[in-house]
């Protein structure tokens, strides 16, 4: 009936079938119980039901008095009109899903409607109005399903009322009784129109908010990732040429880690403001995710137009940004793709700009790079190579070679460096430079490093069974692998499983990796030394470590990088190699040179007091069988005669 329609509309408003009403309820922070969907609207429905039944009681009362109904008839009708709304409220107030429970209350409403019709003995106006109003309520609240259930419930109410009041039909109604229903008949369209308008406005407002949330980044208010492709595709249909700039902030992670996410968020907001200022009025500026942004701009000004916007962005982000008490400079790497040259759809253009951005980062950052087709070919090749490498690691497709580390005075083999090698059925021999880079980019580097350590330890077990002289083995540790919190436990587990003596294992870590976070690196290396392993600094001289950092690092040996050995005897004075050896002696560290390939280099290093070396002058990396034969033959390599040594040294000193 009319007095229930407002409740029906409220229920429809907050529990429409396709609307995610769960967003209206917030779970308690201190309780694990699920949120009560629609709990905030129960009281409103209660008040509407109470008002509706109360106002509907008036025309019913007029009819019952006209029919000379007894007190036993008036009393149940009054109790139902004024008592049922309270009972309905109590039944849903603490229900886990109050709006779902309200649907059952609608069924009870329909039963009472049928009961009211029999109470007034099927008076024509009352019967029609009650039936239509409850039918409309049920249809509005629950569609055809609730409408059908309401008809059945109303029939049950009629049956129950017939048992109580009899089946007598009063077909005549006085003027006064008819007039009593006029407010209901005339007021219903107005209330229905107002309710419909309120629901429409609220749904429109909610739809607008949801659309904005789905299309806008909540932090920067820029367009978000979900809308870039659609807007770019629409722009491609209109403009003859489009530039897509994919922008990645260079130092944002450092700001986040050092100053916290709050400062990071404020920085992103300021970056968004500056990007808007750089872009044109009709350009699209969007936050792609994290510290990545995209600008879509119609190409203007010929070839110079491609550069103008990128230059403006670099200039804007290159100037200091003040956030709170901090003055920050982040810079950016930018990749640029151009429509129609670099792609025929939005996804291809964005992917192309993303590839170009990574190329810009590899060039040193704070610059921009245009997409070129070879980038995609290289990316596809890396992806295929990554898949082949993963399979090789799983199927044992890699093997180790061992390069001897030699005492240059006697030729005695003092150790081996384990080097991973890969011969692929499709690509043939794959350079370690290539597949290690792919492993680092694809997240396989830790798996590769663990495989190298396990394979080296297992090979040592074979040599131990042959009772050859135990010779230390050096294995390389990737900078990314060194950052893993579980690396020490992982290496300890492999050592325990293979029975390897940790004193015969040496980890080679590049100086560049150590200098990224000297304090954390020092703690990690100290843990390795505590379990008995030795630590060497590889490629020493390339990472610009200070004397104080070198002094505090828990290392046993430093390796002179081949770059400082290569030129000795051919114009290079060997000053850097001399300095490295001097530092090693000052800090009482062992020293070894790598990349020794000529007699002149050997002579010079021996004169400095660097006795250990590895390089092609003594031996190339050997496979496991050749290394085993070398150990069985006494682990000694031939050395040049002393006369030649003296001559080589003399030539170096000239």
pLDDT per residue as tens digits for the range 260-279: 889 989 999 999 999 999 88
The SS3 of residue 302 is: coil
Give the pLDDT score at 173: 75
* 84 and 191 both lie in a single domain: yes
Cβ within 8 Å of residue 603, ≥6 positions away? 645, 646, 648, 649, 652
Neighbours of 288 (CB within 10 A): 20
Decide if pLDDT at 102 tops 50: yes
Q: How far is CA 579 from CA 28, 420, 518, in A?
A: 66, 31, 22
Q: Which of 175-184, 401-410, 567-576 has the highest mean pLDDT?
A: 401-410
Q: Which two tokens stand for residue 423?
A: 């011969």
The SS3 of residue 42 is: helix
Give the pLDDT score at 592: 94
Q: Is 14 among the domain residues?
A: no
State percent of the chain over pLDDT 90.
27
* 318 and 176 both lie in a single domain: no
Give the pLDDT score at 31: 42
Q: Is 504 among the domain residues?
A: yes
Give the pLDDT score at 641: 64
Cβ within 8 Å of residue 571, ≥6 positions away? none
Closest CA to 396 of 458, 463, 466: 458
Distance CA 202, CA 206 (A): 6
Owning domain of residue 443: 393-621
Q: Is 472 among the domain residues?
A: yes
* 119 and 79 both lie in a single domain: yes
Give the pLDDT score at 41: 64
Task: Please say whether the beta carbons of 403 and 387 come within 8 A.
Answer: no
* 109 and 179 both lie in a single domain: yes
- Identify the helix (H) or strand (E) that includes residue 493: helix 487-498
Q: Is 652 among the domain residues?
A: no
HEC profile for 187-256? HHHHHHHHHHHHHHHHHHHHHHHHHHHHHECCCCCCECHHHHHHHHHHHHHHCCCEEEEEEEECCHHHHH
DSSP line for 318-359: HS-EEETTEEE---EEEEEEEETTT-SSHHHHHHHHHHHHHH
Give the pLDDT score at 37: 56
Q: Is 307 among the domain residues?
A: yes
pLDDT digit string, tens, across residues 62-72: 888 888 888 88
Largest CA distance in the chain: 140
* 177 and 43 both lie in a single domain: yes
Decide if pLDDT at 1 tops 80: no
Overall domain count for the chain:
3
Distance CA 58, CA 198 (A): 27
* 448 and 523 both lie in a single domain: yes
Please provide the distance, in angstroms rounded to a whole number, between the alpha carbons at the two ends of the chain: 113
pLDDT grade, residue 639 (50/70/90)? confident
Give the pLDDT score at 643: 38
Tokens 């042959």 belong to: 466
pLDDT grade, residue 646 (50/70/90)? very low
State percent of the chain over pLDDT 70.
86
Strands 473-477 and 428-430, by their bridges, are unpaired
* 183 and 319 both lie in a single domain: no
Distance CA 348, CA 339 (A): 10
Cβ within 8 Å of residue 117, ≥6 positions away? 126, 127, 130, 131, 157, 158, 161
* 306 and 262 both lie in a single domain: yes
* 459 and 345 both lie in a single domain: no
- Phi, psi for 619 (deg, rounded to 5): -170, 140
Give the pLDDT score at 419: 95
Decide if pLDDT at 651 tops 80: no
Buried b (16+ CB within 10 A) or exposed e, 437-454: ebbbebebbbbbbbbbbb
* 206 and 230 both lie in a single domain: no
Q: Which two tokens stand for residue 230?
A: 């659609």
Q: Which two tokens stand for residue 536?
A: 């060497």
Decide if pLDDT at 507 tops 70: yes
pTM of structure: 0.60
Q: Is 454 among the domain residues?
A: yes
- Phi, psi for 423 (deg, rounded to 5): -115, 110
pLDDT grade, residue 502 (50/70/90)? very high
* 174 and 260 both lie in a single domain: no
* 165 and 247 both lie in a single domain: no
């Amino acid at each position: 009936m009319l007095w229930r329609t407002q409740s029906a509309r409220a229920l429809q408003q907050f529990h429409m079938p396709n609307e995610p009403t769960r967003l209206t309820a917030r779970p308690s922070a201190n309780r694990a119980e699920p949120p009560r969907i629609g709990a905030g609207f129960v009281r409103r429905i209660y008040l509407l039901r109470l008002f509706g039944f109360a106002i509907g009681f008036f025309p019913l009362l007029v009819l019952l008095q006209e029919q000379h109904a007894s007190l036993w008839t008036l009393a149940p009708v009054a109790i139902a009109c004024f008592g049922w709304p309270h009972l309905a409220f109590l039944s849903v107030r603490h229900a886990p899903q109050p709006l779902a429970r309200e649907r059952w209350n609608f069924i009870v409403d329909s039963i009472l409607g049928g009961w009211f019709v029999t109470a007034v003995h099927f008076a024509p106006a009352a019967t029609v109005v009650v039936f239509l109003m409850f039918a409309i309520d049920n249809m509005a609240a629950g569609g055809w399903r609730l409408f059908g259930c309401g008809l059945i419930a109303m029939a049950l109410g009629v049956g129950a009322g017939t048992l109580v009041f009899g089946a007598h039909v009063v077909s005549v109604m006085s003027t006064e009784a008819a007039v009593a229903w006029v407010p209901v008949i005339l007021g219903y369209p107005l209330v229905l129109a107002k309710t419909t308008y309120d629901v429409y406005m609220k749904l429109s407002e909610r739809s607008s908010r949801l659309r904005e949330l789905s299309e806008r980044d909540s932090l920067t208010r820029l367009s978000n990732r979900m809308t870039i492709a659609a807007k770019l595709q629409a722009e491609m249909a209109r403009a003859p040429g489009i530039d897509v700039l994919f922008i990645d902030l260079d130092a944002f992670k450092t700001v986040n880690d050092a100053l916290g996410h709050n400062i990071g968020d404020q920085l992103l907001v300021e970056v968004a403001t500056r990007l808007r200022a750089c872009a044109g009025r009709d350009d699209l500026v969007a936050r792609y995710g994290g510290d990545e942004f995209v600008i879509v701009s119609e190409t203007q000004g010929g070839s110079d137009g491609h550069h103008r916007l990128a230059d403006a962005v670099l200039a804007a982000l290159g100037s200091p940004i003040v956030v709170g008490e901090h003055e920050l400079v982040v810079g950016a790497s930018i990749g640029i793709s151009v429509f129609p040259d670099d792609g025929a759809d939005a996804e291809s253009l964005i992917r192309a700009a993303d590839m170009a951005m990574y190329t810009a980062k590899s060039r040193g950052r704070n610059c921009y790079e245009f997409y070129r087709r070879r980038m995609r070919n290289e990316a596809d090749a890396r992806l295929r190579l990554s898949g082949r490498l993963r399979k090789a690691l799983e199927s044992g497709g890699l093997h180790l070679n061992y390069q001897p580390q030699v005492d240059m005075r006697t030729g005695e083999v003092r150790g081996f460096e384990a080097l991973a090698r890969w011969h692929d059925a499709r690509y043939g021999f794959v350079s370690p430079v290539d597949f290690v880079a792919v492993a680092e980019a694809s997240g396989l580097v830790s798996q590769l490093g663990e495989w190298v350590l396990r394979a080296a330890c297992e090979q040592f077990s074979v040599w131990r069974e042959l009772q050859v002289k135990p010779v230390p083995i050096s294995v390389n540790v990737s900078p990314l692998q060194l950052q893993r919190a579980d690396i020490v436990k992982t290496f300890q587990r492999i050592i325990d499983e293979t029975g390897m003596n940790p004193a015969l294992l040496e980890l080679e870590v590049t100086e560049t990796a150590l200098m990224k976070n000297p304090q954390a690196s020092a703690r990690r290396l100290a843990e390795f030394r505590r379990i008995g392993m030795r630590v060497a600094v590889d490629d020493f001289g390339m990472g610009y470590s200070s004397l104080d950092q070198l002094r505090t690092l828990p290392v046993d040996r430093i390796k002179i990088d081949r770059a400082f050995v290569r030129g000795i005897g051919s114009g290079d004075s060997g000053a850097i190699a001399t300095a490295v050896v001097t530092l090693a002696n000052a800090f009482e560290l062992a020293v070894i040179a790598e990349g020794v390939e000529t007699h002149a280099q050997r002579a010079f290093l021996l004169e400095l007091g660097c006795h250990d070396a590895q390089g092609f002058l003594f031996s190339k990396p050997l496979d496991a069988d050749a290394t085993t034969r070398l150990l069985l033959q006494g682990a000694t390599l031939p050395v040049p005669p002393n006369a030649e040594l003296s001559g080589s040294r003399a030539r170096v000193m000239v």
